[in-house]
Each structure stands twice: as C-alpha cells, then as structure tokens.
C-alpha cells in the first residue's frame, strides 16, 4: 500500500494524486496516440466510437453522478450537437467554429430543459427529459429545411486550416484531443467551488442551500455543461456516421448513455471511461453471444435493448458503484492482502434520518 506524505496544500489540488498516477495516465495516453499506427481500420473506428461515448459519458456523469439529476434525454443533446455541426458545415462554416457552436447550442438546449424542471428529481425528471428528447426527435424529422427530414443530412468532413480530414485516423485524433480537453475541464470544475456545489446539491439540498449554494443556478449550470459536452460528442458522432437520420438519436441511445454512467461507476470520471469501453464493446459481445445461443433466443427482436435493461438493473442492485467501484475494491484487496475485511465497503447504518426536511 502506498502512503502519500503531504507537505503542501497544492498536493490536494492536483488532478493526479501522485507520480505513479501520472505515469499510468501518461502511458495510457502514449498508447492511445500510437494505436492508429498499428491497428487496422475496423478497430480504429471502434476506438473512435469509444472516445465519443467517453466524451458524452463525461457530460452525463457531471449531471447524474455529480449533481444527482437523472436524464433519460441525453440522446437529444447528442443529436442537437450533431445537427448543428453538420448544418453549419454544410453552409460552408469552418469546423473550428461549427464544433464549439454545436456545444453552445446544446448547452442552451440544456438550459431550456433544465430551468423548467428545476424542482423535479428522480422519476419525474426522468420522464420530463424523456419527453423532451421525444420532442427533439420529432423536430429533427419535421424541420426538413435544416435537418433534411427523414432523408437525413450528409455530414461534411471536418476541415482544419484548409485541409479536409476524411481519414478515420484523423477523426480518431480529433476525438482523442477533445476527450482529453473535456476531462481536463471537468476535473478542474470538480476541484472548484462549482463542482463542490454540485456534489452538495446531490447529497443534501437543504444544507447546500444553507451553505450559500444557489440550487437553481447550480442545477442550471450542471444541465448546461452536461448538455454542452454531450453536444460536442454529438458533433463528432456525426462525423463518425457521416449521415444523420432522426432515428439515430432515439431513446435507446439515451439508455445506452445512462448504462454507461451506471456501469462505469456513478460519481467518478474514471467511471465514464470504463463505461464507454463497456458500452462500446457491448454490441460486439452480444453479436458473439448470438452465435452460441439457440436461434429461438438469438432471433428475438429487441434482444439488444432488453439486455441493456437487464444489465442496468443488475448493476444497480449488485454493484451501485459500477466497474470503477469494483476495481477499487479489487485493488484494495491486493493492497491489504491478506488483511482485507469483507465489511470494509459495507455502509454503516449509523443513525436514522428523519424525512421531514428532505
């Protein structure tokens, strides 16, 4: 086990806790940078998708995992980002403008759904965001002059400094850079007052308020930042599929994103990455499983969404802190070996809580 000797307050402000962390993050980044040189086209594509999921996952994580607000409508923000980016690229605007713009438009949409639902939590918020995403989907299919309606909208290649970037590995690097920046910005937010206020709102609204946290403002910011980041992911997703259709941004995608957050590990940025890898790999796993299942089972329509649902429920019941939570337990087990106690992670039921002020 590693004991960290702290001598300066800055050490608690650093993103990585110690040199070892920097080493592993650095190694991972180097591997990610080298990956396209050795991988073939199919895997570059799959990795790009994982990166895009990870960006969207970080966005949703800020809302669900850190602010405690659930959203079943994040596919809508993905879609808004994708359509905004594609539309303005089509108008001849440069990618360096359309890309941030897609984040801003999605963030504004986030405020538009965040403000009217300020007093909602839990199931009611889930339903409201779901309704919002259905409306947005309808807008995509009917606002033909902008979105191309059911015919869809072709997405031009991103351009940088006059070069059109059609190659898959180019998109891979764009997604990688965006993910690193988004992670950095999110980690910064989380170590600042606004991020702490989000956690405070999640854990106790009354006392957050008495600490001077403006609930309405904090929730609105959380929605805006979350939707904005997801919108950026949407813009990249548009480049990935190269052709937008309204049904690309349906409820199933929202559930997939929620699955990502829950399976990865609620309340950690690491969790968003683990979740993205899981959600990216899941269709492959299901396809492989199909070959081994009897046809009567593997041919059932809706097998995939059904499995998503089952996995979601199983994780909520058995491992509420997701893959990242499980990883921390395994790591601690080896750190403490052979002294690990089963009760280490059991929550203490130390006292009763009245319901009155909740």
Partner 1 sequence: MTFFQADGLSIHFGGIKAVDNVNFTIEKGEIFTIIGPNGAGKTTIFNLVSRIYEPTMGRLVFQDQDITQVPAHKVASLGIARTFQNIELFEHASVLHNLLIGRHCHRKSNLLSEILFLPSTKRLELEHREKVEEVIDFLDLAVYRDQMIANLPYGVRKVVELGRALCIEPTLLLLDEPSSGLNVEETQDMAFWIEDIKNDLGITVLMVEHDMSLVSQVSDRVLALNYGRVLAEGAPREVQENAEVVRAYLGG
Residues in contact with partner 1 by CB under 8 A are 9-10, 12-13, 185, 188-189, 191-197, 199-200, 202-204, 206-215, 221, 267, 347-348, 350-354, 357
Q: Would you say 78 or 107 has its CB closer to partner 1?
A: 107
Tokens of 64: 């669900």
| 153-154 vs 159-160, strand pairing mode | unpaired
Q: Closer CB to partner 1, residue 12 or residue 164?
A: 12
| Nearer to partner 1 (CB atom), residue 33 or residue 211 | 211
Question: Closest approach of Cβ 30 to partner 1, in Å?
Answer: 24
CA distance 268 to 273: 9
Task: Report the 10 Å Cβ neighbour count for 288.
Answer: 9
Alpha carbons 128 and 146: distance in angstroms, whole number: 26
Smallest gap from residue 194 Cβ to partner 1 (A): 5
- Residue 153 is given by DSSP the state E
221 or 282: CB nearest partner 1: 221
Q: Which is nearer to partner 1, 40 or 355 (CB)?
A: 355
Which DSSP letter does residue 358 get? -
Smallest distance from partner 1 to CB 347, Å = 6
Residue closer to partner 1, measured from CB, 317 or 343: 343
Please report how close the Cβ of residue 186 comes to partner 1 at its closest, in angstroms. 8
With a CB cutoff of 8 Å and minimum separation 6, the contacts of 102 are 80, 81, 82, 84, 85, 231, 232, 234, 235
The distance of closest approach from Cβ of residue 236 to partner 1 in the complex, given in angstroms and rounded to an integer, is 20
Q: Alpha-carbon distance 11 to 215, whole Å? A: 30
CA–CA gap between residue 267 and residue 269 (Å, rounded):
7
Rounded to 5, what percent of the chain is helix, strand, coil? 75, 0, 25
- The least CB distance from residue 261 to partner 1, in Å, is 15
């Amino acid at each position: 086990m590693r004991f960290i000797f702290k001598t300066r307050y800055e050490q608690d402000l650093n993103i990585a806790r110690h040199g070892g962390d920097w080493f592993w993050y650095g190694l991972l980044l180097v591997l990610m940078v080298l990956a396209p040189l050795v991988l073939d086209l199919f895997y570059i594509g799959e990795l790009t998708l994982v990166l895009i999921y990870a960006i969207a996952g970080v966005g949703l994580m800020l809302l669900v995992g850190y602010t405690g607000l659930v959203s079943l409508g994040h596919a809508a923000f993905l879609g808004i980002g994708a359509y905004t980016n594609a539309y303005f690229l089509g108008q001849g605007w440069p990618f360096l403008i359309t890309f941030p713009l897609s984040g801003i438009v999605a963030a504004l949409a986030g405020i538009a759904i965040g403000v009217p639902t300020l007093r909602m939590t839990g199931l009611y918020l889930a339903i409201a965001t779901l309704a919002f995403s259905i409306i947005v989907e309808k807008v995509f299919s009917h606002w033909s002059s902008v979105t191309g309606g059911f015919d869809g909208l072709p997405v031009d290649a991103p351009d940088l400094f006059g070069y059109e970037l059609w190659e898959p590995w180019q998109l891979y690097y764009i997604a990688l850079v965006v993910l690193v920046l988004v992670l950095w910005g999110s980690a910064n937010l989380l170590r600042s007052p606004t991020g702490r206020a989000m956690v405070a709102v999640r854990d106790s609204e009354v006392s957050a308020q008495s600490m001077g946290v403006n609930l309405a403002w904090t929730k609105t910011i959380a929605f805006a930042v979350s939707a904005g980041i997801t919108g950026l992911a949407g813009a990249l997703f548009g480049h990935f599929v190269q052709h937008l259709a309204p049904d690309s941004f349906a409820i199933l995608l929202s559930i997939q994103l929620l699955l990502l957050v829950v399976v990865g590990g609620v309340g950690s940025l690491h969790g968003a990455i683990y979740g993205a890898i899981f959600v990216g790999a899941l269709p492959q796993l299901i396809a492989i499983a199909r070959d081994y299942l009897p046809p009567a089972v593997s041919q059932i329509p809706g097998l995939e969404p059904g499995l998503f649902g089952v996995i979601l429920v199983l994780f909520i019941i058995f491992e509420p802190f997701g893959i990242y939570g499980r990883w921390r337990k395994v790591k601690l087990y080896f750190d403490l070996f052979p002294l690990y106690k089963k009760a280490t992670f059991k929550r203490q039921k130390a006292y009763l809580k009245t319901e009155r002020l909740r």
